[in-house]
Amino acid sequence: MFNILLALTAGILIGWNFHSFFIALDPPKIFKNDINISQTKISTLLSTPTKETNITKQPNKIAESNQTKITLPISFYTLLNDNLFSDAMALYINANHKNILLYRSTLESYFQDKIVTDPTESLIQLKEYINIEPENRVTKQQLIELYKSLKKYDKAIHLLIELMDSSHSVMEQEKINKNLIKMSQIYIDELNKLNNPKQLISFLEEHIEHGLNSPFYTFNLAEHYTKVKEYPLAIKLLKEIEFDEEYGEKSKELLKKIENQKSKDKEYTHHFSLKKEGNNFLINVEINEIPLTLMLDTGASFTLIDEDKLSTLKLIEEGIMLKTVSGEVVSKLQEAQTFKIKDIELKNFQLVTTSFKQRKVDGLLGMNFFKKFKFKIDQEAGMLYLERK
């Protein structure tokens, strides 16, 4: 009996050892299933919509919404870039406050570049935009700079005065006023260069009447009248600003200059206004009572007339070589019964005739005329002064 129990116990131990050995070689299936389940959950979390994934996707929706808002100004810029300015303005008019601020900033940069690349089209577009935003001071400043580049100084000055009148800042007014003076001086110089006295006087008188920077415009008008020898008008203006803080000393200096010039002018009994044509000066004369326009030419030894202009001259000699600023020309020496410049009249005045074709001019007033007088040509004032020798 004991031997049977011993054999049974030994068999159980041997069997258990074999079981443990095979378990070690092949682990239970339940562990593999646990791993698969875990992988399935991860896969499911990544692929199947759940409450958790909806939460993670919500920020994406916000990002998409923000992206939509950001693309609005990009669309506005695209319209500008595609030269669809009116369409861009339609978008501007209907935009909300936030987008208008973005559009406004975009337009400032756009005009800054456009003014350089295409000033003509910029002028049209700036005006269109100012009609929509009439209080936009930055845009008006850009338009002022554009007018300056186009040499439309009068329009730039008008805008500067408009900005000055609407400004509530003392510092800004001072800054605008400096620009106004600077722009006005450029315009005055330009009108003087173009020899346009009528427009210059009109401009200066208008701004004197306006009252803004009146001494500046008064002094410039007095300078103009001094140049053209309108001394009474110049003196009257200078007396008005003789005690001005800024222009008082300048006025006194100019008054002294006028008195000195008047003394010098007394040396000449005849004063004639000249017309400027390019770099040359013209004067009206009468030869045998026929009105002609001659160019002053102190380099010409004789007065020269276009041969087609006069047919009543007395022939003295043919084949005369005449020296002019343009070189030597072959001409005829002839004689006129009368040669007049207003109240000056010369009898039996000799001159030469040849083919002379020049716009607005019938000939040259040469040295055979000037040597009869003590003369002075004031190019700045456009005046001829004569005193018989």
Assign residue 335 the CATH number of its domain: 2.40.70.10
Describe the crossing of helices 197-210 and 214-227 by its angle, rounded to 10 degrees: 150
Pair 156, 218 in one domain: no
Give the bridge partners for 353, in sequence order: 305, 332
Parallel, antiparallel or unpaired: strands 344-354 and 304-306: parallel
The tens digit of pLDDT for each residue in 70-101 reads: 444 458 989 998 999 999 999 999 999 999 99
pLDDT at 65: 40
For the chain, what is the total number of helices (H) and then of strands (E)? 14, 11
Pair 212, 172 in one domain: no
The tens digit of pLDDT for each residue in 145-198 reads: 999 999 999 999 999 999 999 999 999 999 999 999 999 999 999 999 888 899
The secondary structure of residue 358, as a DSSP letter, is: B
Residue 122 within a domain: yes
Query: Do 117 and 86 meet the contact criterion of CB atoms below 8 Å apart?
Result: no
- In whole angstroms, give the CA distance from residue 256 to residue 130: 49
Pair 246, 280 in one domain: no
H or E segment and range at residue 41: helix 29-47
Query: Do 93 and 85 meet the contact criterion of CB atoms below 8 Å apart?
Result: no
- In whole angstroms, give the CA distance from residue 347 to residue 205: 45
Query: Do 379 and 277 meet the contact criterion of CB atoms below 8 Å apart?
Result: no
Instruction: Tell me which amino acid residue 103 is.
Output: Y
Torsion angle in degrees (nearest 10) through CA of 198, 204, 207, 208: -120
Most distant CA pair in the chain, distance: 183
Among 211, 236, 265, where does a domain finish? 265
The secondary structure of residue 373, as a DSSP letter, is: E
Pair 205, 173 in one domain: no
Parallel, antiparallel or unpaired: strands 373-378 and 304-306: unpaired
Query: Do 301 and 366 meet the contact criterion of CB atoms below 8 Å apart?
Result: yes
Among 265, 295, 317, where does a domain finish? 265
Token digits for 208?
A: 């004197």
Question: Chain centroid to CA 8: how far?
Answer: 118
pTM above 0.85, yes or no: no
- Domain count of the fold of the chain: 3
Residue 342 within a domain: yes
Instruction: Tell me which amino acid residue 196 is.
Output: N
Pair 170, 75 in one domain: yes
pLDDT at 229: 84
Among 135, 161, 188, where does a domain finish? 188
Residue 5 within a domain: no
**Domain of 224, in residue numbers:** 198-265
pLDDT at 25: 46
- In whole angstroms, give the CA distance from residue 295 to residue 272: 14
Pair 256, 334 in one domain: no
Give the bridge partners for 351, in sequence order: 334
Give the CATH number of the domain where residue 121 resides: 1.25.40.10
- Of 346, 355, 200, 377, nearest to 283 (Cα)? 377
Query: Do 258 and 234 meet the contact criterion of CB atoms below 8 Å apart?
Result: yes
Parallel, antiparallel or unpaired: strands 290-296 and 363-365: parallel
- Of 140, 151, 224, nearest to 176 (Cα)? 140
Per-residue pLDDT of the chain (389 residues; tens, 9 = 90+): 555 555 556 566 565 555 554 455 455 544 344 333 333 333 333 333 433 334 344 444 434 444 444 444 458 989 998 999 999 999 999 999 999 999 999 999 999 999 999 999 999 999 999 999 999 999 999 999 999 999 999 999 999 999 999 999 999 999 999 999 999 999 999 999 888 899 999 999 999 998 999 999 999 999 999 988 899 999 999 999 999 999 999 999 999 999 988 887 777 889 899 998 888 999 999 999 999 999 999 988 889 999 999 988 999 999 888 766 667 778 899 999 999 999 999 999 999 999 888 888 999 999 999 999 999 998 887 889 999 98
Token digits for 367?
A: 């040295």
Pair 204, 305 in one domain: no
H or E segment and range at residue 102: helix 97-117
Give the bridge partners for 375, in sequence order: 386
